[in-house]
A and B are shown apart, each in its own frame.
Chain A
Amino acid sequence: RKEVEQDPGPFNVPEGATVAFNCTYSNSASQSFFWYRQDCRKEPKLLMSVYSSGNEDGRFTAQLNRASQYISLLIRDSKLSDSATYLCVVGSTGGGNKLTFGTGTQLKVEL
C-alpha cells in the first residue's frame, strides 16, 4: 500500500465547476498535511496547509480527518488557471520534516 494515495484522475471540468480531491495516508504518526500544486514541468508549490479544524483560503477548502486518515481539497468556481496537478503531501517529523508525496491528481479546467 502506498503511503499517500490519491484519486488517479485526470479530472476534466468546465469553468465554474466545483471539484473535490481526496487523499488517504497510511502512517498514523504523520503530523503535518499539505496540498501542493505542480504545473507541467515546474516545481511543486504550496497551495495550503491542512489543519484538523479545516481551513479555507478563498475558493479553496481543505479538510483533515485524523481518525480516518483522510484529507480533502475542494475547489469552488474553478478557473482555467486552476489547471495543474494537485499533490497531497504528508509530513513526519521523526528525524526531520520528511514530506511524502502522493502521485498527484491532474485537473483540467475547460471553457
Chain B
Amino acid sequence: NAGVMQNPRHLVRRRGQEARLRCSPMKGHSHVYWYRQLPEEGLKFMVYLQKENIIDESGMPKERFSAEFPKEGPSILRIQQVVRGDSAAYFCASSPRQGANTEAFFGQGTRLTVV
C-alpha cells in the first residue's frame, strides 16, 4: 500500500508563472489536506477536501491559490502568478475518515522555489 504520493518533489518557477502541485492520497483515503511550511516556521493549514468538494479553505490565501480533488485523479494545489513569498514546502496529507483521533498521513512534500 503506497503512501501519500506528491509530485513533483521539487519545483522551480519564475515569478509570474503557475505552479501545479499534485497529491495522490493513500488507497482508500477520501480526505485530503494541504499544508504549507515556510522556512523556519511550522506547518500551516491551507485547505481540506473530500472527493469533488472543498470542505474547509479557511487557510487559503484569498487570491492566486486554488485546490481541487476531482472524482478521478489526484488532488491539485494550483498557484497562479507565483511570487517569491510562495517559496515553501507544501505538504499533502490524507486520512480515511474524519473524526477524533484519526491519524493523517503525510506525503514527502513539494518544495517550491520561486526565482
Interface residues of A (CB under 8 A from B): 31-32, 34, 41-46, 49, 87, 91, 93, 95-104
Contact = CB atoms under 8 A, between A and B. Distances in A.
Contact of B43 (A45, A49, A87, A96): A87
Given A44-B43, A44-B91, A98 B56 contact: yes
A80 to B, nearest CB: 23
Secondary structure type dominating chain B contacts: strand
A102 B44 CA distance: 9
A15 to B, nearest CB: 27
Interface stretch (B11-19, B60-68, B74-82, B94-102): B94-102
Nearest to B97: A97
B55 interface: yes
B48 A95 contact: yes
Contact of A32 (B35, B44, B100): B100
Contacts of B100: 31-32, 91, 93, 97
A101 B43 contact: yes
A89 to B, nearest CB: 9
Contact of A97 (B42, B104, B111): B104
Nearest to B111: A41
Nearest to A45: B106
A43 B91 contact: yes
B31 interface: yes
